[in-house]
Amino acid sequence: MTYFILLVITLLLGYVLKNRRAMVQFESACKLAFEDSFKSTSQQPAFQMEYLYGLPAFSVIHITKDDYELSKHEGAHESFTAAVQKLCQHYGSNERPYEASRAINFAWTKDGKTFSQSSSFA
């Protein structure tokens, strides 16, 4: 009986460590995709990754609206969205596949407040 308990504990520990390593590698790949997509911008925006309802979600916050517009014009937003889509294609289901364009919030700050294209700020 003791050996069985030790075996179960060892298997659970191995499972947890394997999943933790995979999660760290995934987060590192997402950070690398961000850095690669925004490497040519003059001011690198802030990057945040979190999980919402078990799915990865991202925030990319530029210092100014001008930086936001410039990186969008240079294709950094599109490049990052494509990279995230490729990295996250295994999330979701056949009926509701993962959509990187819905999981990434590109925004900018002004006077301590954060705005995105969908904000009422003009």
pLDDT band for position 93 (50/70/90)? Answer: confident
Could you give the 3-state DSSP secondary structure of residue 3?
Answer: helix
C-alpha–C-alpha distance, residues 24 and 38, integer Å: 21
Instruction: Evaluate whether residue 89 is within a structural domain.
Output: yes
62 exposure class (CB count in 10 Å sphere: 0-12, 13-18, 19+): buried
Q: Is 24 helix (H, G, I), strand (E, B) or coil?
A: helix
- The domain of 39 spans 2-116
Do the domain assignments include residue 121?
Answer: no
Whether 91 maps to a domain, the answer reads yes
Q: Note the pLDDT tens digit of each residue in 19-68.
A: 889 889 999 999 999 999 999 888 899 999 999 998 999 999 999 999 99
Q: Is 51 inside a domain boundary?
A: yes
Q: Is 122 a member of any domain?
A: no
In this structure, what CATH number is given to the domain that contains residue 22?
A: 3.30.300
Tell me the longest C-alpha to C-alpha distance in the chain.
68
**Local structure of 89: helix, strand or coil:** coil
What is the pTM for the complete model shown?
0.82
- Number of domains present in the structure of the chain: 1
